[in-house]
Chain A
């Protein structure tokens, strides 16, 4: 059984002014195994952050289940859910906003251990020392405040603080998008070592597709509240099945000008529809270069084969045992 299983999760937001409903997660299912890095990609409003936030309890689920470490979290009384989620930790995009500006790094880490119930100051100091080593931070950083740190160091402090809870899953929401390209490696490599050394599983939520590809064993692509495709990342990027995944991977630019300028690039027409009024049938149909007549009428169901899954009518009549691009 997976370490974390999300099944048929529905999360809705109501617009107080219009009464409209945005179904940010529409029957979303997701598995994360121990020590696995799972990618979650999509554009703004697709529901990827909502999914992450709902898993850790920052948003309320309307229906569906979240099973973590054998415990069906949403069936627990509210008071016990928090305890059951202790080993699920969230890393925010903006480390500066996640840290208290006047608090030194040392005091922030110490506080996290006090909250955890560690009363012995010497044990706390020892634990903090270990965490600094694990996150590759110099001891001198303990006396400093967030503003005095580089962007990469700040994000590693946030990760260090999350690690004090000995999490089994880290949910990282755009963890490197506020960092310059040359500084992203230090944070991404930290995630890879935490996975290798501590067996931490990671849900990596990001819009930077090439970073997700390199870090994640499996990737999920979201569009307007639905996971439209999932599969092993190497296969999904090499041969995307869903036309939306195809457009996303086609948007990755190559740094070799000869390759970049000679390749065919798929550019989608139009804007993302409002999540408050998604199109009927398949929600991607308004921008899909391969749209069929049925797409407006019937919402496609997930078709699963050999570890890959796709939600698209192009695959309704495909008979092979191995899915291959049908557009």
Chain B
């Protein structure tokens, strides 16, 4: 099967109101030994039929930024989440826990990196999907069985009747992730939250799942927020991208703006670290020295300063905020994107 994603370049024009609108998001996580500022003052919008990718490395806060606004942080995590979160205009910051459960069930689908942890290992796959359909959509037994078969077909699982009788461990990793996607789209959600959905899979299976996810997202006009560490994934399926470093968005914009005209030195470093397909065999690899800062004790000034090739003394004094680099393309860097007036709305 040969797949071209040329059609993706003509981005779907989002409706006026974003599906998800996040402003001033800050998340404090309490671990046994420390308080970690996992996300600081983050803001982003995702429209209908639009895919926003969040990229960054381990510990950058990308997963927390994706999960916290919808109350999806794993149970047992002690956190304080501040800021405003609107889902189709509804303010979730003031929603009751009961309302949040409803919203998560009906309007939001979630795909995690590891489907084994999200599926009940002791129950067959069929009843797990059907239960979701009965709870979320109020379908009866027959209707939910029929819809489950339909969903498995949509996610490319052959012989769905037979597969519904399998336990999760009887399926391959790729098949389990397809089941997770089926459950995620079961309630016809407006928003799909995906956290490294293909990372744990083999490369040829990653390719399958990536095309499936992108296809469904467009076919069902869902807004999607996708966390990934793989910039190639961003280039292939996302419309917009936010680059995270040390808990803050350091650059955000359309995929073409950010990947082809990167402003932030960290974005540039991330792009340079991906081996070029025509790099000379035996040539040296490009990377970064040093490590990201400890977020339980963040440094003053720009968090990237200790690793930055463009660093100047003033970078260590105050942290730069996002400033426009042209249109919706924003970067937080004193050196490449000096602040001008009138672009502070997102930076607040």
Name A residues whose Cβ lies closer than 8 Å to a Cβ of B: 37, 43-44, 150, 180-186, 188-189, 192, 207, 209-211, 213-217, 233-234, 237, 247-248, 250-258, 260-269, 271-272, 287, 289
Residues of B within 8 A of A254 (CB): 232, 235, 277
Contact A267 B259 (CB under 8 A): no
In whole angstroms, how far apart are the Cα atoms of A189 and B285 in the complex? 6
Contact partners of A213 in chain B: CB under 8 A:
275, 277, 279, 281
New A-B contacts (9) at CB < 8 Å, excluding given A188-B285, A192-B282, A254-B277: A181-B229, A181-B270, A213-B275, A214-B281, A251-B203, A253-B232, A264-B4, A267-B207, A289-B1
CB of B86 closer than 8 Å to a CB of A: no
Q: Are A260 and B287 in contact (CB under 8 A)?
A: no
Query: Can you list 9 residue pairs at the A/B interface with Cβ under 8 Å?
Result: A181-B270, A183-B288, A185-B287, A215-B285, A256-B259, A261-B6, A265-B211, A268-B1, A268-B208
Which chain A residue lies CB-closest to B271? A255
| Contact call A260/B235, Cβ cutoff below 8 A | yes
Known: A184-B285, A257-B260, A258-B256. A251 touches B274 (CB 8 A): no
* CB pair A180 B3 closer than 8 Å: no
Candidates A44, A188, A257, A262; contact of B255 at CB < 8 Å: A257
Contact present for B287 and A267 (CB under 8 Å)? no
Question: Which residue from B8, B208, B270, B283 sits with its C-beta under 8 Å from A214?
Answer: B283
In the bound complex, do residue A267 and residue B3 qualify as a contact, i.e. CB atoms below 8 Å apart? yes
A182 to B259, Cβ gap below 8 A? no
Q: Chain B 242-269 against A: per-residue CB contact (8 Å), 1 yes, 0 no?
A: 0000000000000110011000000001
Q: Which of A210, A265, A289 contacts B5 (CB 8 A)?
A: A265
A181, A209, A264: residue with the most chain B Cβ atoms closer than 10 Å: A181
Q: Which residues of A contact B2 (CB under 8 A)?
A: 264-267
Q: Is the CB of A272 within 8 A of B202?
A: yes
Given A192-B282, A260-B232, A268-B208, CB of A210 within 8 Å of CB of B275: yes
Q: CA separation between A49 and B112, bound complex, in Å?
A: 27
Residue of A nearest to B203 (CB): A251
- Nearest CB in chain A: distance from B243 CB, A: 12
Contact: A271 with B288, CB < 8 Å?
Answer: no
A182 engages B269 (CB within 8 Å): yes
Contact A252 B4 (CB under 8 A): no
Among candidates A189, A233, A234, A248, residue contacting B204 with C-beta atoms closer than 8 Å: A248
Contact B233 A253, beta carbon cutoff 8 Å: yes
- Bound Cα distance A98, B34 (Å): 28
B16 to chain A, nearest CB (A): 25
**Chain A residues within an 8 Å CB radius of B231:** 253, 255
Question: Across the interface, do A252 and B277 meet the contact criterion of CB distance under 8 Å?
Answer: yes
Are A251 and B277 closer than 8 Å at their CB atoms?
no
Q: Which residues of B contact A183 (CB under 8 A)?
A: 57, 287-288, 291
A220 to B259, CA, bound (A): 32
> B286–A181 contact, CB under 8 A?
no
Contact with A182, one of B205, B206, B273 (Cβ below 8 angstroms): B273
Nearest-neighbour CB distance to chain B for A141, whole angstroms, equals 14
Smallest CB-CB separation from A217: which chain B residue?
B281
Are the C-beta atoms of A271 and B285 separated by less than 8 Å?
no
Q: Does A267 lie within 8 Å of B208, measured CB to CB?
A: yes
Cβ–Cβ < 8 Å partners of A252 in chain B? 232, 277
With the chains together, A214 CA to B283 CA distance in Å? 7
- Measured CB to CB, the closest approach of chain B to A209, in angstroms, equals 7
Which of B207, B271, B286 touches A251 (beta carbons < 8 Å)?
Answer: B207
Q: Of A215, A237, A258, A269, which contacts B1 at CB under 8 A?
A: A269
CA distance A324 to B57 in the complex (A): 39
A210 touches B289 (CB 8 A): no
Q: Is B175 an interface residue (CB 8 A)?
A: yes
**Contact indicator B207/A184 (Cβ below 8 Å):** no
A247-B236 contact in complex given A181-B229, A261-B9, C-beta closer than 8 Å:
no
- In the bound assembly, the distance between CA atoms of A183 and B279 in angstroms comes to 18
Docked pose: A253 CA to B6 CA in angstroms: 14
Q: Is B24 an interface residue (CB 8 A)?
A: no
Interface membership of chain B positions 162-189, coded 1 if the CB is closer than 8 angstroms to chain A and 0 otherwise: 0000000000101100000000000000
Within the assembled complex, what's the spacing in Å between the Cα atoms of A172 and B289?
Answer: 22
Residues of B within 8 A of A248 (CB): 203-204
Expressed in whole angstroms, the Cα–Cα distance for A256 and B277 within the complex equals: 11
Whether A261 pairs with B281 at a CB distance below 8 angstroms is no
B234 proximity list for chain A (CB < 8 A): 255, 257
Q: A43-B204, A189-B284, A289-B1 are in contact. Are A257 and B277 (CB under 8 A)?
A: no
Q: Is the CB of B273 within 8 A of A181?
A: yes
The reply to whether B281 and A233 form a contact with Cβ atoms under 8 Å apart is: yes
Task: Give A146 to B249 CA distance when docked, in angstroms.
Answer: 31
CB of B291 within 8 A of CB of A256, answer no
Judging by beta carbons under 8 Å apart, are B260 and A214 in contact?
no
Report Cα–Cα, A266/B8, bound state, in Å. Answer: 17
By beta carbon, the residue of chain A nearest B257 is A257
The 8 closest A-B pairs by CB, nearest first: A253-B232, A185-B287, A185-B285, A43-B202, A180-B57, A182-B288, A260-B235, A210-B275
Instruction: Kindly list chain A residues whose C-beta atoms are within 8 Å of the C-beta of B172.
Output: 271-272
Q: A214-B275, A253-B233 are in contact. Are A271 and B1 (CB under 8 A)?
A: no
Across the two chains, which residue of chain A brings its CB closest to B56?
A180
Q: Which of A37, A182, A214, A251: most chain B CB closer than 10 A?
A: A182
Q: How far is the CA of A217 from the CA of B283 in the complex (A)?
A: 11
Residues of A within 8 A of B175 (CB): 271
Counting chain B CB atoms within 10 Å of each CB, the highest count among A189, A213, A260 belongs to A260
Give min CB distance, B327 to chain A, whole Å. Answer: 16
* B53-70 at interface with A (beta carbon < 8 Å): 57-58
| Residue B114, interface by CB 8 Å | no
CB-nearest residue of chain B to A262? B6
Are A267 and B275 within 8 A (Cβ)? Answer: no
Which residues of B182-224 have CB atoms within 8 Å of chain A's CB atoms?
A: 202-208, 211
Smallest CB gap from A219: residue in B: B281
Q: How far apart are the CA atoms of A122 and B234 in the complex, in Å?
A: 53
Q: Least Cβ distance of B253 to chain A in Å?
A: 12
Contact between B260 and A44, CB atoms less than 8 A apart:
no
